[in-house]
Copies of this chain bind each other. A is one copy, B any other.
């Protein structure tokens, strides 16, 4: 079995590798191939990874390449974790909207929109190569905005793509602590869009423990269960995705963001530190500083998905996948986030049904934004880009959409498709 990692030069890759160690036990022989366009970073990461592998006593066959075709060749799984324009582009995504009193965030709102417009042309190019070189491989997409990228690939290519996000697995993890049960015993009856999911009910070994969870949350405010989330839970009677705060506490979040340094800046610092650490020829284990980088449990989610798809284990996993009627209020061909049952070949959607009225409007508006954003990028349509932003609940204004779009186009000249 071979896993290709697109964007393998990321400082996060050591985390992924650790996940592969556990896979290796059950799937050996295992090849891992990193691909990146940044030669320098790719080299640093590769050297470090080789040391990690040596230390691990696994016999993972490792390679790194600047050639996408080489990485894709014979791949069974492809993990995509790229960031077009790097952290400097992210910095702009987080800064420009704030100038107009809009939320600046890399996956949601005008920032996420800019990220999508930079990324869609690139992933479509990559997909063409996958269609030719490894048409049967599964593409596991981490590339943000994950829902939009997964839908783009589902609608415009033949690539077998599933989108992953670490929000669901972190909630599962939190509830595991809260309820003191193993993670695998928990089932989240959750639905929505990437970064806009809602957990209606929580089950432990099939038993509905939702009321118990709500009660515990009511009593307890901790790092994970913030005051804001508590308030949301009490209002909508569902457990919200962390990102819902951007929608429900827009003004507060804008104020908060304006005060703090941009997250891109912080990540830049952490990355510098990590890259330096990784170059230490004596380091052959994941340094503890990696945990500050974000992306908790991403690696676990990927390993779980590969385990499911290879038939090592079977069960439910929350992923991004085309709707096909599971959620009746959203288009059939749109990508949604929800639990599906996976046993190797067999990926089975469940009936989710109607969206609760309390959140239906928000989800439908964001889905319209997402689909217009995709079409704007694919068709190079300025009008669609403008209406995508106008309809986004975090913009809700044609005038503001026009202003922020103009700045985003200017700042992303190198990356955006030419809109007209």
Contacts and interface: CB of A to CB of B under 8 A. Distances in A.
Interface of A: 187, 189, 203, 205-208, 231-232, 235-237, 247-252, 311, 314, 324-326, 328, 341-346, 348-351, 353, 357-362, 364-369, 371-372, 375, 383-384, 386-387, 390-394, 396-400
15 contacts: A189-B346, A203-B345, A205-B314, A206-B343, A207-B345, A231-B398, A235-B383, A235-B386, A248-B397, A248-B398, A326-B351, A350-B350, A351-B351, A361-B364, A364-B368
Given A235-B383, A350-B349, A364 B369 contact: no
B399 A251 contact: yes
Nearest to A383: B235
Q: Which of A189, A326, A351, A366 has the most CB of B within 10 A?
A: A351
Given A248-B397, A366-B361, A206 B387 contact: no
B400 A251 contact: yes
Query: How often does this chain occur in the complex, in copies?
Result: 4
A4 B236 CA distance: 40
B206 A344 contact: yes
B397 A250 contact: yes
A44 to B, nearest CB: 39
B372 A187 contact: no
Nearest to A347: B206
Given A368-B360, A368-B361, A386-B235, A399 B248 contact: yes
B398 A396 contact: no
A-B CB proximity, top 9 nearest: A206-B344, A361-B368, A206-B343, A248-B398, A361-B365, A364-B364, A361-B391, A349-B351, A358-B387
B205 A343 contact: yes
A324 B353 contact: yes
Contacts of A361: 364-369, 391-392
A249 B399 contact: yes
A187 B364 CA distance: 30
Contact of A351 (B187, B348, B357, B390): B348
A248 B206 contact: no
A257 to B, nearest CB: 15
A345 B208 CA distance: 7
A104 B346 CA distance: 40
